[in-house]
Copies of this chain bind each other. A is one copy, B any other.
Amino acid sequence: MTDVTGLQTPALIVERERLDANIARMEQRCRDLGVRLRPHVKTAKSAEIGGRTPSAVAHGITVSTVKEAEYFGAHAFTDQLYAVTVVPSRLPRLAALRRRGVQVRLAVDSEAAVTAVAEFGAREGVTFDVLLEVDSGEHRSGLSPDDDELARLAERLDRAAATRFAGVFTHAGHGYHCRTAAELRAVAEQERAAVVAAAERIGARGVECAITSVGSTPTATHAEHLSGVSEVRAGVYVFGDVFQASLGTCRLDDVAASVLTAVIGHQRQLGRLVIDAGALALSKDRSTAALGPERDAGYGLVCDVDLRPLPGARVAAVYQEHGLVEIEGGVDFGAFPLGHLLRVLPNHACITAAAYDRYRVVHDRTVEATWGRVNEWT
């Protein structure tokens, strides 16, 4: 057992107790809402964290890449929704997963994709369960809930020999632009109403819509009810981050992922600390810039090694391997000698975590374990 201060920096740390509390909170929230939780593993991309998530084990998971599907499939997570619209080039790997007993459901939002999946499945003797993606207002991907195409594609999927129509799903990512709980409640309702309307439209053609799936951490947290919804996909809640705290989906004290970093210099002229967490270790995510100058966290909020936030401290600038820390009211350099350890709460945990190939799991300052993570695509 190593003390956290014995780790090389930069390192990605997970606070085990916070993680487990975040997981338990969302499990309870979905029980209260009366919906299944199908955790989106794209945030942590870790079999160990999946294994600590009751719903992931009991119901299944959501994945964002074929590589995640393969990795989690190999770790016995055999019930999956691959929630990014599929292209023909990915079908051989997905078929291989099906043959290994991994039930990986596919997503489509076009005639061309339906045709590709149906033809490939028929040719290769594989049957795929397929969901249609609905656009509930984010305008990233998916069909509008009032588009006639929805029911037409559902019918085609239902009838084709090599496809089964499994349901509809949507992601109200525009919730990330909300600034109040009331706005988030409205977006959550939009998300719910979109899949319910889509399912009704499809049902009216006599095609059963078994799954009605919505989700994001902000809408799952703020929804008033999820009547007509069968499952929620949420992901970043396992860690939380500074931006999530601004949306009221966690408190800063809940943020379970942080970057351990060392002071590597003093920029005395400008009164800044130089740390060894830069653009690669923190990412260039600037989502908190949208919160205005008062709440802008720069490239991350700075805490001491025990995760106590340093008032007014943020990473003001990043270079590839350098970060510059500013502290409101000025830096007392004597308090931050060379090698002094700090921890940075990320703006956006999904993006920051992607720079690391493993997690250092910490409880009470002790490194209890190292957990894996799957990056890349191929």
Contacts and interface: CB of A to CB of B under 8 A. Distances in A.
A8 B266 contact: no
A84 B322 contact: yes
Most buried by B among A319, A322, A338: A338
Contacts of A90: 8
A66 to B, nearest CB: 8
Contact of A286 (B89, B264, B284): B284
A88 interface: yes
A375 B10 CA distance: 12
A64 B338 contact: no
Given A10-B377, A281-B377, A88 B338 contact: yes
A317 B286 CA distance: 14
A351 B284 contact: yes
A267 interface: yes
Q: Is the interface of A mostly helix, strand, loop or mixed?
A: loop
Contacts of A71: none
Interface stretch (A22-30, A105-113, A220-228, A245-253): A105-113
B141 A84 contact: no
Contacts of A190: none
A265 interface: yes
Interface stretch (A52-60, A160-168, A352-360): A352-360
Contacts of A376: 355-357
Contacts of A86: 264
Interface in A22-61: 42
A308 to B, nearest CB: 21
A96 interface: no
Given A9-B377, A265-B110, A355-B376, A338 B285 contact: no
B87 A378 contact: no
A325 interface: no
A338 B110 CA distance: 9
Contact of A144 (B11, B89, B113, B269): B269
A187 to B, nearest CB: 16
Contacts of A65: 321
A280 interface: yes
Interface in A270-298: 270, 274, 276, 279-281, 283-286
A85 interface: yes
Nearest to A340: B87
A305 interface: no
A139 B270 contact: yes
Contacts of A73: none
CB-based closest 5 A-B pairs: A112-B338, A8-B378, A87-B339, A284-B284, A64-B321
11 contacts: A10-B377, A11-B378, A84-B264, A85-B274, A87-B338, A87-B339, A112-B338, A141-B264, A144-B269, A173-B319, A283-B283
